[in-house]
Amino acid sequence: MNQNTKYYSYDGNYFYTDINQLISDAKLDNHNNAINSNNPYYNYYQYLPGRSKTSYTSDDINRYFEQYTPSDSLLRNTGSYFIKAQNEYGTNAALLVGIAMNESDRGTSNLAKTKFNVFGTNAKDGYVQGADKFSSIEECIMRVSNYSFSNGYFNPKSWKYNSSSLGNKSLGANVRYASDPFWSEKAISRMYQLDKFLGGDTGLKDYNRYLLGMYTNETSVKNTLNKELYSILPQNTRTKNTCKGQVGDTTIVLNEKDSNNYNIRPDRIVPITETNINGDGTYLWDRDGVINKTNIKIINEKSNPNTDFTTHWAKSYIIDGMNKGWVDTANVFKPENFITRAEFIKIVNRAFNITQIGEESFRDVNPGDWFYDEVRIAINAGYINGRGNGIFAPYDPITRQEAAKIIGYITNKIDYNFTYLSAFND
């Protein structure tokens, strides 16, 4: 595209400089006259599956709300709820923020003020008073993330499902969530706004964070045990009674499983014939899906700003940790640096999906610290203690001994056969 040129599009994928050519192609159901007829454009935020994680923290989200919402907004200081919902129910926090900003008029709508409803759930056209009422913003975010999104719009077994992306009126949550055909565009504009504001001088951190694949053939998504999680139907065959995947839907490609298959992040982690975990929308981030490479095409280039581990012996492990959301993407990874106690517990909390926040009373852990909630989660889980005298020592390097004890405690695999230790002089 060129600056100062007017372009037309009716689907957001193909673009025209002549409105009459657009109309002609639309009538013939082709894109022959589009300037990108052989190279459709896919807006990353629009096609990003909801089964993903934002790069940003709860504190980051709070800074965004402070900048872009009025002082009386009910969304202010709610970042931790969005992150908690993301970790527990597999609902991207930035995506949820985008929807909430749009649906609640930045946290100031009448529904938000009177019913703590920031997503407009069950606020049907002509009958807004029938919208759901919640006891708090936290309850709204958690319940909607769980039952409406994770077990509904993001779940291939639900009649609401049309892929977990925000999409448009042919795929994604926009098909059934809202009557407004531009509902998804309004939400993703907020996702972009958040990414641009928080990314600052370092650039967009969420944009192209994941490698996206689009289904091209009728097939099945299976788990690593070869059980079907859900099927992928031919294009334009999904109806209210066959709410499964469909050609044209997108997924996150994690890595190559082997020469023939990709590991992907599935929208559903439990086989289609079984009940969801706990009967609700609980999502476990370590459950991969498998798809044959011939049934998928890559539609973007994943950004990888890291340049300091490309030849490192741990490269594959680092990338795997990033793909699973255990390790944050950063401009510099510093693979030879010591890992601190605070950094290690953050990875542990993500890897084992530990989210329950407790209390702490350490003199060197304060509410403004990035690791404040991570420490409270770790202490509540019981897998780590302080260093004595009211000190947690978050910036101290974690020792191999401490790391081993933590992993052994969590996995319940501590072995008291000390003969194994004879191989080590220390």
Query: What SS3 state is found at 273?
Result: coil
Share of the chain above pLDDT 70, in %: 96
Long-range contacts of 72-75 (CB under 8 A, 24+ apart): 72/108, 73/106, 73/107, 73/108, 74/104, 74/107, 74/108, 74/112, 74/113, 74/116, 74/118, 74/137, 75/100, 75/101, 75/104, 75/106, 75/107, 75/112, 75/118, 75/137
Percent of the residues in the chain that have a pLDDT greater than 90, as a whole number: 68
What's the mean pLDDT in 364-369?
90
* pLDDT of 122: 87
Give burial (CB, 10 Å; 0-12/13-18/19+) of 335: middle
Between 422 and 116, the higher pLDDT residue: 116
**Bridge partners, 404 (sequence order):** none
**pLDDT at residue 241, as a whole number:** 59
Find the mean pLDDT for residues 21-25. 96
The pLDDT score that the predictor gives to residue 129 is 75
Asked if residue 20 has pLDDT above 70, the reply is: yes
Q: CB neighbours (10 Å) of residue 126?
A: 5
Residue 303 confidence (pLDDT): 79
Higher pLDDT, 129 or 321: 321
Give the confidence band of 240 by pLDDT, cuts at 50, 70, 90. low
222 close to 290: Cβ distance less than 8 angstroms: yes
Q: What pLDDT is stored for residue 329 in this prediction?
A: 61
Render the burial of 409-419: b for 16+ CB within 10 Å, e for the rest.
Answer: eeeeeeeeeee
Q: pLDDT class for 146, splitting at 50, 70, 90? A: very high
**Is residue 128 pLDDT above 80, yes or no?**
no
pLDDT of residue 256: 87
The confidence band for 235, taking pLDDT boundaries of 50, 70 and 90, is confident
Across the chain, mean pLDDT equals 91
pLDDT for position 414: 79
Is it the case that residue 334 has pLDDT exceeding 70? yes
Q: Which one is predicted more confidently, 202 or 398?
A: 398
Residue 223, classed as helix, strand or coil, is strand
pLDDT on residue 331: 58
What is the tally of helices (H) and strands (E) in the chain?
13, 8
In the predicted model, what is the mean pLDDT of residues 198-212? 87
| pLDDT in the model for residue 321 | 84
Q: How far is CA 64 from CA 113, 192, 326, in A?
A: 20, 12, 23
For each of the domains in the chain, give its residue range(s) and CATH number, in order of start.
1-41 (no CATH), 47-202 (1.10.530.10), 211-273+284-298 (2.30.30), 338-423 (no CATH)
Confidence of residue 150 (pLDDT cuts 50, 70, 90): very high
Lowest mean pLDDT among 30-39, 75-84, 90-99, 271-280: 271-280
* pLDDT tens-digit readout, 62-71: 999 999 999 9
Using one digit for the tens of pLDDT, what is the confidence trace for 395-419? 999 999 999 999 999 998 878 888 8
Q: By the 8 A CB rule, do 211 and 198 touch?
A: no
Q: At 214, is the secondary structure helix, strand, or coil?
A: strand
